[in-house]
Structure 1
Amino acid sequence: MESRKAELEKLILALAAPYQQELDIILTAPSFKNIFSAITVISEIGINMEAFPSAKHLCSWARLTPTNNKSTGKKKSVRVSKAGCYIKPLLVQCATAVVKSEKHHKIHNHYLHIKKRRGHKKAIIAIARMLLTALYSMLKKKEPYNAELYKKSDAFPAKREITVEQAILLAQLQGYKIKPAI
């Protein structure tokens, strides 16, 4: 049995050899220490992130986003759908490992904040969604995980300026009708 397992692992590693650069990138992410976890991610979502217009689309495809079942002001259900028999359980397992880890304090604090309001299961799904978003960004930019870069990407620049035409266009895109000044 052990020899068959070793043969199978050798075959999987041989098939994954062309994707070594992407595998190395994924292995830098929090809780991705096993090469087979990285291979599972590559086999599920691929290496071409152009298939997904944004990280939100990828999270939706992996069924890590809550449903929006609302009718006449009544909120019926916000549960996460049951799909993704390979990628979703793997990400939940990685999220659980990252939360228990001592290395990633920001992720652990984010988990505790959500857990206090929404409960353990929803908090783990939120962390799994964070990991998938990070993986999307890492594979799209072809760069390893760096928590500092993700912190900086969330912050707005200190000086933000736009022209009057850009402000008008932005207001129109949000649904405002612009009246000419008299």
Structure 2
Amino acid sequence: MVEPFESAIALLCTIPGVDRTSAVAIISEIGIDMSQFSSAKRLCCWAGLTPGNNQSAGKKKSVRITRAGVYLKPALVQAAHAAVKSNSSAYYHIKYERIAKRRGKKRAIIAIARMMLTAAFHMLQTGEIFNPSDLFQVDMPIELRNKQKEKALRQAAKLLIAQGVVSPEHIKLPA
């Protein structure tokens, strides 16, 4: 039954954590025609992966995710758990750790599932394989990260001197 969708299944299998059964579940729920969703945010909302925003008089009430997507959401959460524990790609693991540190583990898994669904939306729309735009920043070597920080500090110091905020003798420029 999934034979006409083999190319889309192979495309979704390039996402870390998504295997063939997860890809079949995703395609069976959302299809391969992404024109019915105007954006990735609309797809995530339809799937029930966006938190509600119920505020009144400065009080936040419920920020729980909706009950929509009863078949898609569990498949994406399962794929998110697999992606976080994956040894082949640390991309989602690093993102998960950053989010879990400040928001908690369950919210972090939902955030990873939402990232995966957003990636699937764009992949099915454009036909490109999984290639996150910020992968270089996530897997950046420490030496290169330190070099970029030093460069940013030099540029900031030069800007402060040029604007006349600080005099040159008060700032020690990194080498």
Same fold (TM over 0.5): yes
Per-residue deviation at 1:78? 0.8
Per-residue deviation at 1:117? 1.0
The aligned counterpart of 2:22 is: 37
Distance 1:114 1:106 in 2: 13
Unaligned 5+ segments in structure 1 are 1-14, 155-182
Alpha-carbon contact 2:100-2:108 (below 8 Å) kept: yes
CA RMSD of aligned residues (A): 1.5
Distance 2:111 2:131 in 1: 19
Aligned residue for 1:113, secondary structure, equals helix
The aligned counterpart of 2:134 is: 151
Q: Find out whether 1:130 has 2:115 as its counterpart.
A: yes
Aligned residue for 1:81, secondary structure, equals coil
Distance 1:37 1:111 in 2: 20
Distance 1:77 1:26 in 2: 33
The aligned counterpart of 1:92 is: 77
Query: How many residues were matched structurally?
Result: 136
The aligned counterpart of 1:26 is: 12
The aligned counterpart of 1:81 is: 66
Residue of structure 2 aligned with 1:104, choices 75, 89, 102: 89
Per-residue deviation at 1:114? 1.0
Distance 1:68 1:103 in 2: 36
Per-residue deviation at 1:30? 1.1
| CA distance 1:49–1:18, shift in 2 (3 Å) | same
Alpha-carbon contact 2:80-2:116 (below 8 Å) kept: yes
Unaligned 5+ segments in structure 2 are 138-175
State the one-letter code of the partner of 1:88: K
Percent of matched pairs sharing the same residue: 51
Alpha-carbon contact 2:16-2:83 (below 8 Å) kept: yes
Alpha-carbon contact 2:22-2:76 (below 8 Å) kept: no
State the one-letter code of the partner of 1:63: G
